[in-house]
C-alpha cells in the first residue's frame, strides 16, 4: 500500500476542541442573557408552567408520607388533650355531685333541726340536744346510742324525741354516752291518747320483732279506733310531756273469735334513721316536791284547866 494513501489526521482522542475557559464564558453569557430575557420578557414562563404541571403529581405523591406523619402526630396530640379534658371533666363532675349530695343532706338536716327546735319551743320543757352515734349491738332489741351522758346531765328515764315525735326513752346512762330504747322495742310501753276520741290506752313495742311498729293491746273489738288516728302522749306516767305525737293507727284486725282487736300502729318518729334528737327532762323531775305537813297548833281555851 503506497504511503500517500494513509490518513495523516490525529485520532479522535487527541482532537482538541474549545478550551474550558471559553466554554465557561460562553455558557455564562448565555445564562446571563436568559436571565435578563426571562426577567424582562417572561420567556421561560410557559416552560415553567409546563414543568410545574408535569411535576405536580410527583410532588403530590412525595408529600403524602410527610402529610400523613403530620396528621398522625396532630391526631395523637388531640387525642391526648381530649382524654385529659375528659378526665378533668369527670373529676369536676364527681366533685360537683359530692357537693350536691352534701348540700341536699345539709338542707335535710337543717329542716329537721328547725322542726326539732319548733317542737321544743312548743313543749316548753328543758331539753338537751344530742346526736345518735350508732345502733346497739343487740339484734333482738331496738336501741340506739347517743353522744350525751351523765357528764352532760342526762338522767335515766328521760324522754327522747326527734323532729316528728317521740323516739324513745333513756334506759341506761354512762359517763359520756347513753342508751335509748326506742318506742318500737318489744319491752317498751308508753301511755297514749287518741287525739280524735280522747280515749287513753297503752302502746307497746311489737313483740313479733318486726322493726318500726307498735300495737295497742287489750282494745275491745268495738272500740272507736280508725286507721289514721293520731296517738299522742297522755302524760299520766309522769315521764313524757302530754301532747307529743307517738304513732298513727296503721291496721285494725277485728276477729270474731276474740273480744280484743289487733291494732298495729306506725311510729311518727324516724326510728330507723334519726340522727339529731332532743333529750327532755322527765315530768317528775319538774314537779315540785310536796311540802311536809306541819302539825296544827290548837288555840288555848279560855277558862280551861290549869
In-domain check, residue 222:
yes
Residue 126: closest CA among 146, 108, 152, 147? 152
Pick the last residue of a domain from 96, 123, 150: 123
CATH number of the domain encompassing residue 256? 2.40.10.340
Q: How far apart are CA 263 and CA 277, in angstroms?
A: 28
Q: Are residues 262 and 136 in the same domain?
A: yes
Predicted local confidence at residue 115, as pLDDT: 67
Angstrom distance (rounded) from CA 170 to CA 277: 12
Rounded to 5°, the CA angle 251-231-241 comes to 155
Query: What's the confidence (pLDDT) of residue 146?
Result: 92
109 plus 185 within the same structural domain: no
Which DSSP string corresponds to 118-169?
Answer: HHHHHH---EEEEEEEEE-S-TTS-EEEES--GGGT--TT-EEE-SSSEEEE
Which residues, in sequence order, are bridge partners of residue 181? 143, 169
Question: Do residue 67 and residue 143 come from a single domain?
Answer: no
Q: Containing domain of residue 228, as a range?
A: 125-286
Mark whether 119 and 232 lie in a shared domain: no
Residues 273 and 196 in one domain: yes
Q: Judge whether 292 lies within some domain.
A: no
pTM listed for this prediction: 0.58
Q: What is the rounded CA–CA span in Å between residue 168 and residue 29?
A: 118
Question: Domain boundary residue among 85, 105, 123?
Answer: 123
Instruction: Please report the pLDDT score of residue 118 as a whole number.
Output: 64
**pLDDT reading at 269 higher than 70:** yes
Is 143 found in the same domain as 44?
no
Domain for residue 171, yes or no?
yes
Same domain, 279 and 147: yes
Inside any domain, residue 13: no
Which range has the worst mean pLDDT, 87-101, 120-134, 202-216, 289-303?
A: 289-303
pLDDT of residue 93: 84
For the record, the C-alpha cell of 148 comes out as 350525751
Q: Is 293 part of any domain?
A: no
What is the tens place of the pLDDT at every residue in 295-304?
Answer: 544 455 544 4
Could you tell me if 148 and 176 lie in one domain?
Answer: yes
**Do 168 and 263 fall into the same domain?**
yes
Banded model confidence at residue 194, pLDDT cuts 50, 70, 90: very high
As a whole number, the mean pLDDT across the chain is 81
Let me know whether 42 and 170 are in one domain. no
State whether 146 and 273 are in the same domain.
yes
Counting every residue, how long is the chain? 306
Q: Tell which wins on pLDDT, 27 or 119.
A: 27
**Count of domains for the chain:** 2
Which cell numbers hold the place of 264?
A: 298495729
pLDDT digits (tens, 9 = 90+) for 195-223: 999 899 999 988 765 567 899 988 888 88
CA-to-CA distance for 111 and 210, rounded, in angstroms?
A: 29
Residue 178 confidence (pLDDT) above 70: yes
For residues 297 and 98, the model is more confident at: 98
Domain C-terminal end among 67, 98, 123: 123
pLDDT at residue 4, as a whole number:
56
User: Is there a domain that residue 37 lies in?
Assistant: yes
Predicted confidence at residue 232, as pLDDT, reads 92
Whether residue 109 sits in one domain with residue 137:
no
Q: pLDDT tens for residues 225-259?
A: 999 999 999 888 888 888 889 999 998 888 878 88
User: What pLDDT is attached to residue 210?
Assistant: 59
120 near 127, Cβ under 8 Å?
A: yes
Amino acid at each position: 500500500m503506497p504511503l500517500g494513501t494513509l490518513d495523516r489526521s490525529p485520532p479522535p482522542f487527541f482532537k482538541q476542541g474549545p478550551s474550558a475557559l471559553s466554554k465557561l464564558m460562553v455558557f455564562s453569557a448565555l445564562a446571563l442573557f436568559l436571565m435578563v430575557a426571562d426577567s424582562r420578557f417572561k420567556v421561560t414562563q410557559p416552560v415553567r408552567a409546563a414543568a410545574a404541571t408535569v411535576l405536580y403529581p410527583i410532588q403530590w405523591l412525595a408529600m403524602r408520607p410527610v402529610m400523613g406523619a403530620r396528621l398522625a402526630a396532630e391526631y395523637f396530640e388531640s387525642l391526648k388533650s381530649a382524654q385529659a379534658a375528659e378526665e378533668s371533666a369527670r373529676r369536676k363532675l364527681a366533685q360537683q355531685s359530692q357537693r350536691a349530695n352534701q348540700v341536699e343532706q345539709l338542707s335535710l338536716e337543717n329542716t329537721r333541726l328547725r322542726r326539732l327546735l319548733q317542737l321544743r319551743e312548743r313543749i316548753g320543757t328543758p331539753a338537751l340536744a344530742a346526736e345518735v352515734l350508732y345502733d346497739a349491738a343487740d339484734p333482738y332489741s331496738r336501741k340506739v346510742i347517743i353522744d350525751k351522758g351523765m357528764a352532760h346531765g342526762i338522767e335515766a328515764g328521760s324522754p327522747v324525741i326527734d323532729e316528728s315525735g317521740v323516739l324513745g326513752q333513756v334506759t341506761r346512762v354512762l359517763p359520756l354516752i347513753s342508751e335509748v330504747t326506742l318506742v318500737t322495742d318489744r319491752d317498751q310501753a308508753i301511755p297514749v291518747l287518741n287525739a280524735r276520741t280522747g280515749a287513753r290506752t297503752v302502746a307497746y313495742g311489737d313483740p313479733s320483732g318486726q322493726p318500726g311498729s307498735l300495737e295497742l293491746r287489750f282494745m275491745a273489738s268495738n272500740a272507736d279506733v280508725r286507721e289514721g288516728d293520731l296517738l299522742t302522749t297522755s302524760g299520766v306516767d309522769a315521764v313524757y310531756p302530754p301532747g307529743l305525737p307517738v304513732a298513727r293507727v296503721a291496721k285494725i284486725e277485728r276477729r270474731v273469735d276474740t273480744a280484743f282487736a289487733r291494732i298495729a300502729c306506725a311510729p311518727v318518729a324516724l326510728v330507723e334513721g334519726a340522727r339529731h334528737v332532743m333529750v327532755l327532762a322527765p315530768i317528775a323531775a319538774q314537779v315540785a316536791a310536796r311540802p311536809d305537813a306541819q302539825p296544827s297548833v290548837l288555840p288555848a281555851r279560855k277558862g280551861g284547866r290549869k
